[in-house]
Structure 1
Amino acid sequence: MKISSADMVVHPMGLRFMGRMFPCTVGRGGISADKREGDGATPTGVHSIVGMLYRPDRIAPPTDWAMPILPGDLWSDDSTSDDYNTMVRAPYPFSHEVLRRADPLYDLVILTDWNWPNAVLGRGSAIFMHRWRRPGFPTEGCIGVRPDDLAWIAPRIQRSTRLIVSG
């Protein structure tokens, strides 16, 4: 596989992007080639960047293509729902994650194509890149980075940027 300078590469030393290294965290289940819903693992593979979300009441748009997170925006993580692994709106009767959180964890979210747009039930929902809670504290399967690093990375992402996670 050819890796370009536009790619973000996660490896044991952190996340490499545009010639810089950034500390990062991965899922509490480690890195896995057999990702399943609820396992807390970060899936290996080459993941395209398919979107970016931000809190317009907290930060300026990081790019002209970023979409605002509005009150009532949710992400379905219920593998029994037809909306599994998509953004949905409240009220929503199935299991979901709130995108407009009280804490700043999702003030800026980079979306990958993990198990999207044609989700395989149980294979795991959204793998985001977002700010970390603190150094070394694992995510639920996403990639976590420092808030200032995320703010630096976001406007530099190109349409060709991929997130590459190796095991």
Structure 2
Amino acid sequence: MNADGLVFQAFLGRSGCTAFKAEGDGATPLARMRIAYGFYRADRVSLPQTRLPMIPVRADMGWCDAPDHPSYNRPVRLPFGASHEVLMRNDRLYDICLVLDWNISERRRHRGSAIFMHLTHPEGKPTEGCIAVSPSAMRRLLPLLRKGTVVQVL
């Protein structure tokens, strides 16, 4: 990952990258995606200065990944009956999590949900389709980012 002349290691989807993203394929979309806003675990991290809107994660926050549900690829309140991700994770991946505008502005069923830029797995594992950077890289990036910053996966 290259940002403002800085270079960081980033992990992508377990299935690589694709121009034809589908729900559950484990691939990161080859696309230009704008950063919309972020979530963070206020009980675990303190944020550096940033121009991004950042929302503290609560235990009742989730993200719908059920393609046929009206809330597909949207934040939802838990408990939630359809398939979803829990945003307050135990594994620290979402201690800082930026929402990328993939399939959000113009939502299409089965085209992929919850494409985030989040923190890396401690063992350096690939993501389920997101972009992951180390906690130190995220701290260096946050002051450079604002709503609308474009992240491009080539």
- TM normalised by structure 1 equals 0.86
Deviations 1:48-106, CA, capped at 9 Å, x for gaps: 11011111111124436211111110000000110000000111000000000112110
Distance 1:149 1:112, change over 3 A: same
| Cα distance in 1, alignment partners of residues 105 and 149 from structure 2 | 18
- Where do 1:33-52 residues align within 5 Å? 33-52=19-38
1:165 matched to 2:153? The reply is yes
| One of 116, 129, 154 as aligned partner of 1:141 | 129
Q: What SS does structure 1 have at the residue aligned with 2:85?
A: strand
| One of 67, 72, 95 as aligned partner of 2:55 | 67
- Where do 1:108-127 residues align within 5 Å? 108-127=96-115
Q: State the partner residue of 1:12.
A: none
In structure 1, runs of 5+ residues without a counterpart are 1-14
Q: State the partner residue of 1:7.
A: none
Aligned residues: 152
1:27 matched to 2:13? The reply is yes
Q: State the partner residue of 2:44.
A: 58
Contact 1:25 1:135 in 2 (8 A): no
Contact 2:21 2:27 in 1 (8 A): yes
Q: State the partner residue of 2:75.
A: 87
Contact 1:110 1:154 in 2 (8 A): no
Of all paired residues, the percent bearing the same amino acid is: 41
- TM normalised by structure 2 equals 0.93
Q: 1:135 Cα deviation (Å)?
A: 5.8
| Cα distance in 2, alignment partners of residues 135 and 111 from structure 1 | 23
